[in-house]
Chain A
């Protein structure tokens, strides 16, 4: 069985500070991992994905995530938060591509 746990449903950071959003997965085999962002009243947009190539994945808008098999983690980071980063972030895992499991989301607030 596969599942995703996002620690912290709400995260607040100051503008310019480091963003760290946590995601841990459980999977019996190496999975595909994804981070999506959702702005208010919109659908989800892909930020980045891990597909068993490089463990450090760079995405759009300055975000990146590192796949750590030993920790079963895929945390999302950005060195310097911008006001426009305020949104809901979802981690997702897939193995076969037939099923995508999403975490419950983390709401990011950026404080000016």
Chain B
């Protein structure tokens, strides 16, 4: 009964390169959230997706960042032309559903730590 799986755990990129972070939600979960964590800043919401749909991307930077959650395969957070300020831990979380007030908690992966040189 695997939990939320994220890979890679650590990623090093040079400025201008692309970073792709993957997230496989828990079995049976169809909702995926991406968060960014910077030291002393807590978790910042980036995007919320269901299969083949972006539900809320209000936390995503307007440029260079994109996310998808295809019908088959993991969710992917893509950062193009990375800059040093993108260095952070990126966490994925999943939940089985999110409807009305019948929500449960989020289940988190162990994060992907991006370092931009």
B43 x A90 contact (CB < 8 A) = yes
A29-66 contacts to B (CB < 8 Å) = 32, 34, 36, 41-46, 49, 51-52
B103 close to A34 (CB less than 8 A): no
Q: Does B25 interact with chain A (Cβ within 8 Å)?
A: no
Q: Which residues of A contact B98 (CB under 8 A)?
A: 96-98
Give residues of chain B (101-117) contacting chain A, Cβ–Cβ below 8 Å: 101-111
B79-114 CB contacts (< 8 Å) to partner A? 91, 93, 95, 97-111
B52 within 8 A of A: no
B18 is an interface residue with CB less than 8 A from chain A: no
Number of A residues whose C-beta is below 8 Å from B?
26
Q: A36 to B48: give the CA distance in the assembly, Å.
A: 19
With beta carbons under 8 angstroms apart, the residue of A41, A44, A97 that contacts B101 is: A97
Q: Known A-B contacts: A42-B111, A96-B103, A97-B99. Give 4 more (CB < 8 A).
A: A32-B103, A43-B111, A96-B98, A96-B100
Q: Nearest 6 CB-CB pairs, A to B? A: A97-B103, A97-B98, A43-B108, A104-B42, A102-B43, A44-B108
Residues in A lying within 8 Å of B, measured CB to CB = 9, 32, 34, 36, 41-46, 49, 51-52, 90, 94-105
